[in-house]
Amino acid sequence: MDTQREGKFERILDGAINAFAESGFHQCPVSRIAQLAGVAEGTIYLYFKNKEEVLIRIFQERMGAFTAKMRLELAREETIEAHLRTIVRTHFSYMEQNRSLAIVTQLELRQSNPRIRLAISGPLLEYYHLIEGVIKQGIEHEEVPQTDLRVARQMIFGALDAATTDWVMARNPWTLVSGVEPMVTLFEGALRLNRPN
Amino acid sequence: MDTQREGKFERILDGAINAFAESGFHQCPVSRIAQLAGVAEGTIYLYFKNKEEVLIRIFQERMGAFTAKMRLELAREETIEAHLRTIVRTHFSYMEQNRSLAIVTQLELRQSNPRIRLAISGPLLEYYHLIEGVIKQGIEHEEVPQTDLRVARQMIFGALDAATTDWVMARNPWTLVSGVEPMVTLFEGALRLNRPN
Amino acid sequence: MDTQREGKFERILDGAINAFAESGFHQCPVSRIAQLAGVAEGTIYLYFKNKEEVLIRIFQERMGAFTAKMRLELAREETIEAHLRTIVRTHFSYMEQNRSLAIVTQLELRQSNPRIRLAISGPLLEYYHLIEGVIKQGIEHEEVPQTDLRVARQMIFGALDAATTDWVMARNPWTLVSGVEPMVTLFEGALRLNRPN
Amino acid sequence: MDTQREGKFERILDGAINAFAESGFHQCPVSRIAQLAGVAEGTIYLYFKNKEEVLIRIFQERMGAFTAKMRLELAREETIEAHLRTIVRTHFSYMEQNRSLAIVTQLELRQSNPRIRLAISGPLLEYYHLIEGVIKQGIEHEEVPQTDLRVARQMIFGALDAATTDWVMARNPWTLVSGVEPMVTLFEGALRLNRPN
DNA sequence: AATGAATGAGCCTTCATTCAT
DNA sequence: GATGAATGAAGGCTCATTCAT
């Protein structure tokens, strides 16, 4: 019973991700979500308060899983270089393996609707904290010079985000992970790692 | 007559920027654009094919002006350091002085609607080329090591974009320009400028 | 078993009366009836063909009980004065003691839906007949002058109905029974009872 | 322009009266109102906030007109007998000439929705006041014995209301006005008019 | 050219009813 | 019999677009 309920919840979430990826949150009729999820339209309202909540839960559930994975991967490494590489690699490979989620994340992350913004901000802030934590650790270990944490995080997140958006938008997408090394190199330079003396 | 036409065209564009900034492209009724522009609803359709085209023209006209200004500012400088600083400063100060445009740019830039994407891509690609041109010049002058142009541009644009989005989203926004120097420092590091040897 | 069946039938009827009284027949979801009756939604359809039939049975069962009680009370009295007083007193006190039923009766009695109208008409006609019977007896006993039976019944029923509706609608309801004597006096006058000669 | 606007407003009101009379407020789709009014569905929302407001305006506009007519007719007469007869005659003849309005009035007057109740109460209270005014005058002129004003008004209004409902519900409706004299006679008796001493 | 009243397609959501368990 | 999850039809309302003036 409970697994069936959960199964349907997940199916709707997946259907919504694909539906939103297809045409965007506002363009996408609830009927399309239902169709892709293989449930009736009304069923969606047994699991979600409304269409808006479906979008919100996508971020909470799926971005949450992404951040959890990121935290796990980071915990496996010690050095700041490894941490930076982990961030880039995990970000790119996760998005590459979840293209529809990437599309939704990249495109619908930016919502002027304040209710949605607020609900999205949670998982996003958590990710921001992870990135800032890595930088902070580098500074504390005196491997990275004093830097404005927010600006550094904006650079890292922004770079990953722009790369992902480029990849999502491209008609014939290259592999995203091919950008890992160049990106890591840029980050290392920006944070003054690996420099002679 | 022609100036009047142009005047009305511009008024609609400005009205639309503010209207879209208020509530987002999809949430914003055409009537609101007309209201802010001080014209009748029907008048908008004398100047634009439909609502979508209004958004597209905002990018073409206003992003075009931004890119033109950027090109002008870049032409005044010689060194790559100055070019990087010019990009960051111009980007931040322009957005800061055109908050509504910034909101529309940051939030509505990302549209899954392919028609809009395509039309937007023009001005965006031009900006990308400017950024890549600066990096390329640095590489050619051997001030910057060989780097993947696209990745470097993604980092620069993404960082500026993320910073602007942060600023746009913040309830009590700090000044965006205060981030110019930290950001430039990060970019210089990433591109290995100003380093001994 | 049979009593259990009957128990559940009655519980649904009571739940429905309260549910309909809360928000009206059309506003009230079947789920609310189920909730108040303490049964599952589907169970209702084991006892009633559909929602409409629940309303119909309320009238048939509860109005039937009301009419039966009225007939019983009337049988206890002989004079037309006593009969009139019995009608008013029984009507008012019954409604006062069954406020939810009164609400449903007053508000939902009037349904343009012809199927409901038809089904309701049974118990209502029976009540009409009781009232007309009292008047007729008065005429036959030459205590009441020749009168149009229907009009007289309309007056009596309408007056009781209007008083009940007023009471049902009032925010701070007075006691309905306090209106018994004034109303009886009016009826006696209308039917020319208690007049010298 | 203005008359055209007003014309459309009235047409929608008339369409709604007929539509509500057909199937009741809740059963009636807005599309049916539009159809009967000969306008598009959306047009209704240019003149009314929502479906509920259409019902409310029917009472305010049409019941208002009814009450105004009633007041006018009452002003023409002096004696309480004439006033009573005027009330009955005007009520019956107005309803007879506006059958659909009568249906809506009789059936939809009773709405559990508090917002609708409140909006309806205005015109209704005005009518109540007119009736009570007539009784009060009779008492002041010592033609009518002391009576509870509310109860007397409930009797008069209720009787008229019940008669109208009967007529509305009847398959083969008799003329309503044929009930004027019997009803007046009952009222006169109830209020102890025309009796030897 | 300019207007804004009118249009009607489209969508979110509710809820009566069904049916597998 | 009893359940309540699932269904899907239906309807109120919005709003981009048109067109008579």
pLDDT average, residue stretch B40-45: 97
Query: Is the Cβ pair D162, C154 closer than 8 Å?
Result: yes
Mean pLDDT across C5-30: 93
Predicted local confidence at residue B2, as pLDDT: 55
CA of B14 to C1' of E9 (A): 29
| Contact: chain B with chain A (3+ CB pairs below 8 Å) | yes
What is the predicted pLDDT for the residue at D194? 65
Task: Kindly state the percentage of chain A with pLDDT values over 70.
Answer: 95
CA–CA separation, D47 and D9 (whole Å) = 6
Residues from chain A that touch B191, judged by Cβ atoms under 8 A, are 186, 189
- The pLDDT score that the predictor gives to residue C194 is 65
The answer to whether the beta carbon of residue D113 comes closer than 7 angstroms to any atom of strand E is no
Tell me the average pLDDT of chain B. Answer: 92
Task: Give domain status of residue B128, yes or no.
Answer: yes
Is position C196 within any domain? no
B114 backbone φψ class: left, alpha, beta (φ>0; ψ -120 to 50): alpha
C23/C96 same-domain check:
no
Q: Which nucleotides of F are covered by protein (CB under 7 A)?
A: 1-20
Give chain D's mean pLDDT.
Answer: 92
CB A67 within 8 A of CB A130: yes
Question: Are A179 and B151 within 8 A, CB to CB?
Answer: yes
CA distance A121 to chain B (A): 10
Return the structure tokens found at C157.
């029923």
Residue D197 has pLDDT above 50, yes or no: no
pLDDT given at position A109: 79
Same domain, C101 and C152: yes
CATH of the domain at C37: 1.10.10.60
What is the rounded distance in angstroms from the CA atom of residue C18 to the CA atom of residue D157?
28
Q: How far is CA C188 from CA A29, A93, C137, in A?
A: 66, 92, 14
Q: Is residue C8 part of a domain?
A: yes
Task: Answer yes or no: is A90 within a domain.
Answer: yes
Query: Residue B176: which of C129, A150, A20, A161 has the closest Cα?
Result: A150
Q: pLDDT band at residue C119, thresholds of 50, 70 and 90?
A: confident
Is C1 a member of any domain?
Answer: yes
Tell me the mean pLDDT in the region A74-101.
Answer: 96
Tokens of D135: 């009784």
D126 assigned to some structural domain: yes
The reply to whether C153 Cβ lies less than 7 angstroms from strand E is no
Residue C129, min C-alpha distance to chain D (Å): 14
How many domains does chain C divide into? 2
Question: In the listed set A48, A68, A84, which residue is the last one of a domain according to the structure?
Answer: A48
Q: What is the pLDDT of residue A110?
A: 79
Q: Are residues D67 and D38 in the same domain?
A: no
pLDDT band of residue B26 (cuts 50, 70, 90) is: very high
Q: Are the C-beta atoms of residues B83 and B142 closer than 8 Å to each other?
A: no
* B195 contacts A151? CB cut-off 8 A: no
- How far is it, in rounded angstroms, from Cα A101 to Cα A53? 16
Mean pLDDT on B21-35: 94
Based on the fold, state whether residues C25 and C60 are members of the same structural domain: no
Compute how many other C-beta atoms are within 10 angstroms of the C-beta atom of residue A40. Answer: 12
Which member of A117, A148, A163 has the closest CB to residue B154? Answer: A163
Q: How close D147 gets to chain C, by Cα (Å)?
A: 7
* Rounded CA–C1' distance between A29 and E10, in angstroms: 9
Predicted local distance difference test score (pLDDT) of residue C83: 98
For residue A158, give the nearest of B107, B150, B159 by CB distance: B159
- pLDDT of D163 above 60: yes
Query: What gap in Å lies between CA A76 and CA A74, rounded to an integer?
Result: 5
Residue C64: helix, strand or coil by DSSP? helix
Q: What pLDDT, on the 0 to 100 scale, is given for residue D1?
A: 44
Specify the nucleotide whose C1' lies closest to residue B40 (CA): E3
A-B CB pairs within 8 A amount to: 129
pLDDT tens by residue, C49-65: 999 999 999 999 999 99
Q: Does residue D55 have a pLDDT over 90?
A: yes
- Considering only CA atoms, which of A12, A160, A182 is closest in space to residue A91? A160
Q: Which nucleotide is nearest to C27 (CA to C1')?
A: E15
CA dist A98 → A94, A157, B66, C146 (Å) = 6, 18, 34, 89
Measure CA to C1' and name the residue nearest E2: B43
Query: Whole-number mean pLDDT of chain C?
Result: 92
pLDDT at B4 exceeding the cut of 80 = no
Closest residue in D to C179 (Cα–Cα): D151
CA dihedral D156, D162, D167, D168 (to 10 degrees): 120
Q: Mean pLDDT, to the nearest integer, of C39-45?
A: 97
**Spatial distance between the Cα atoms of A58 and C15, rounded to a whole number of angstroms:** 39
Q: Is it the case that chain D and chain A have 3 or more CB pairs lying under 8 Å apart?
A: no
- Find the closest chain B residue to A125 by CA distance: B166
Identify whether residues A67 and A34 lie together within a single domain. Answer: no
Residues 26-45 of B with CB under 7 A from strand F: 27-31, 41-42, 45
Q: Note the pLDDT tens digit of each residue in C141-183.
A: 999 999 999 999 999 999 999 999 999 988 777 899 999 999 9
Q: What is the CATH number of the domain that holds C90?
A: 1.10.357.10
Which domain, by its residues, includes A152? 56-190
User: What is the pLDDT at residue A150?
Assistant: 97
The string of pLDDT tens digits covering residues A33-75 is 999 999 999 999 999 999 999 999 999 999 999 999 999 999 9
Q: Which of residues 29-58 of C touch strand E (CB under 7 A)?
A: 29-31, 41-42, 45, 50-52
B62 three-state secondary structure: helix
d(CA A89, CA A162): 15
CA of A33 to C1' of E15 (A): 20
Gap from B113 CA to F8 C1', Å: 29
Q: Is residue B29 domain-shared with residue B81, that is, in the same domain?
A: no
**Please, which pLDDT band fits residue A1 given cuts at 50, 70 and 90?**
very low
Q: State residue B43's pLDDT score.
A: 97
Q: What is the DSSP string of C82-127?
A: HHHHHHHHHHHHHHHH-HHHHHIIIIIS----HHHHHHHHHHHHHH
What average pLDDT does this structure show over A129-146?
96
Residue D4, pLDDT > 90, answer no
Residues C35, C100, single domain; the answer is no
Nearest nucleotide relative to C4: CA against C1': F1
Average pLDDT over residues C79-92: 97
pLDDT for position D5: 67
Q: Closest-CA residue in chain D for C28?
A: D112
D153: closest CA of chain C, how far (Å): 9
For residues A64 and A42, membership in a common domain is answered with no
* Surface-to-core class of residue A116, CB atoms within 10 Å of its CB (0-12 exposed, 13-18 middle, 19+ buried): buried
What is the C-alpha to C-alpha distance for residues B138 and B149, in angstroms, rounded to an integer?
11
Q: Which residue of C has its CA nearest to D21?
A: C112
Say if residue C32 is in the same domain as residue C107: no
Mutate to test the interface with C, among D23, D32, D101, D110 (most CBs of C within 10 A): D110
**Residue C197's pLDDT band (cuts 50, 70, 90):** very low
Under the phi-then-psi rule, with left for phi > 0, alpha for psi from -120 to 50, and beta for the rest, what region is B192?
left
Residue C197 lies in a domain: no
- What Å distances lie between residue B14 and B10, B18, B20, B97, B98, CA to CA? 6, 6, 10, 14, 11
Mean pLDDT of B41-52: 97
Tokens representing C76 are 């206890």
Q: What is the pLDDT of residues A159-177, one digit of tens each?
A: 999 999 999 888 777 899 9
Q: List the subunits that have 3+ CB pairs under 8 angstroms with B.
A: A
In A 38-67, which Cβ lie closer than 7 Å to strand E?
Answer: 41-42, 45, 50-52
Q: Is the dihedral of CA C83, C152, C146, D82 positive or negative?
A: positive
Q: Which of B196, B187, B71, B89 is nearest to B138 (CA)?
A: B187
Same domain, A107 and A151: yes
Quick one: CA torsion of A124, A126, A128, A134, rounded to 10 degrees?
-150
Distance (Å, whole) CA A63 – CA B115 = 28
The answer to whether D36 CB sits below 7 Å from nucleic acid chain F is: no
Evaluate whether residue B195 is within a structural domain.
Answer: no
Residue nearest to nucleotide E11 (CA to C1'): A29
Which of C107, C112, C118, C171 should we substitute to test contact with D (largest number of D Cβ atoms within 10 Å)? C112
* Residues A105-122, mean pLDDT to the nearest whole number: 84
Interfacial residues of C (vs D; Cβ cutoff 8 Å): 21, 23-24, 26-27, 103, 106-113, 117, 147-148, 150-152, 154-155, 157-163, 165-166, 169, 179, 182-183, 185-187, 189-192, 195-197
Q: Which residue is nearest to nucleotide E19 (CA to C1')?
A: C42
Same domain, A115 and A146: yes
B42/B61 same-domain check: no
**Do B110 and A106 count as a contact with CB atoms less than 8 A apart?**
yes
* Nucleic strand F within 7 A of Cβ D52: yes
Proximity of residue A29 CB to strand E below 7 A: yes
Of D162, D169, D183, the CB nearest to C161: D162
- pLDDT tens-place string over residues B70-122: 999 999 999 999 999 999 999 999 999 999 999 998 888 777 777 888 888 88
Amino acid at A84: L
